[in-house]
Structure 1
Amino acid sequence: MEKRIINPWQWQDQRSYVQAVEIKQATATLYCSGQAAVDANGRSSTADMRSQLIEALQNLEQVITEAGYECQGIVRLNIYSTSTAELFTCFDVFQDWIAKHGIQQASTVLEVKGLFETLNVELEATVVK
């Protein structure tokens, strides 16, 4: 896989994403369903935003790993949240996870009216290798 990052500006670097990612000669692509704070028994979390974000990231990482991919291969990561204001109070969790895996991804953050049951945040990823 050949990966090229396109960033005409510098300001997005502080927000842990890039403006565009070009992939050439990928050997495979994984499209992940939205991952949220749902436990192994299918129970939705009732915890706070920070706890749900941590669990959603863990679930996303598990799906990616079990598929035989690496988190570093994430090229698109969309975040859906019932409160972007609350999400940004714990955005350090997201940024630390991105840095830990050396991810450079295109992203969109969307505030939505609601998510399934008691969920507050959901992550949708595209991964290449």
Structure 2
Amino acid sequence: MKKWIATPAAPAAVGPYSQAVEANGTLYISGQLPIDPKTKTMPAGVREQTVQSLKNIAAILEAAGYTKNDVVKSTVLLADIADFATMNEAYAEFYTDKLPARVAYQVAALPMGALVEIETVAVKG
């Protein structure tokens, strides 16, 4: 069984995709750009953008009935891998227990000129 998740507490999709889809106890959260859902703007720095992307993920997790402790995998996309340490500091403040598996990549560019985007998979149980 599939369930599509949408919440106004996270930014709406900027293309033809869903914020998240739950299938058989697994929640697949689309890459979250650091867009503030209220102001529709992005903060300026990598740290602030990481925090906003993680806030968006937390809102989607909550809307789907999951918590950050249910997260099993994150994929972090960075516009510049030199920002890894800064991103990592903010990320470590969000995930402090039951750390998910993670990979981080530098990409050629991110939508809307973002510096960071984070995709997440969570599993119930």
Greater C-alpha radius of gyration: 1
- Alignment partner of 1:114 is 2:109: yes
Closer/same/farther in 2, CA of residues 80 and 69 from structure 1, 3 Å limit: same
Aligned ranges for residues 25-36 of structure 1 at < 5 Å? Answer: 28-36=25-33
The residue identity in structure 2 corresponding to 1:122 is E
SS at match of 1:72: helix
Residue aligning to 2:45: 48
Q: In the TM superposition, what is the alpha-carbon distance from 1:97 to its structure 2 partner?
A: 1.0
Closer/same/farther in 2, CA of residues 78 and 89 from structure 1, 3 Å limit: same
- Quote the RMSD (CA, aligned, Å): 1.7
Contact kept? 1:44, 1:118, Cα under 8 Å: no
Contact kept? 1:46, 1:118, Cα under 8 Å: no
Deviations 1:62-116 (A, max 9, x none): 11111111110101111000012123134211112110xx232221111001000
- Aligned residue among 71, 75, 79 for 1:82: 79
Q: What is the alpha-carbon distance in structure 2 between the residues aligned to residue 109 and residue 89 of structure 1?
A: 13
SS at match of 2:108: coil
The residue identity in structure 2 corresponding to 1:37 is P
The residue identity in structure 1 corresponding to 2:42 is S
- Aligned residue among 82, 98, 104 for 2:95: 98
Unaligned runs of 5+ in 2: 1-23
Closer/same/farther in 2, CA of residues 44 and 113 from structure 1, 3 Å limit: farther
Q: What is the alpha-carbon distance in structure 2 between the residues aligned to residue 67 and residue 111 of structure 1?
A: 29
Closer/same/farther in 2, CA of residues 42 and 126 from structure 1, 3 Å limit: farther
**Percent identity, aligned pairs only?**
26
Deviations 1:1-57 (A, max 9, x none): xxxxxxxxxxxxxxxxxxxxxxxxxx6110000012112158341511111011011
Residue aligning to 1:61: 58
Unaligned runs of 5+ in 1: 1-26
Closer/same/farther in 2, CA of residues 52 and 104 from structure 1, 3 Å limit: same
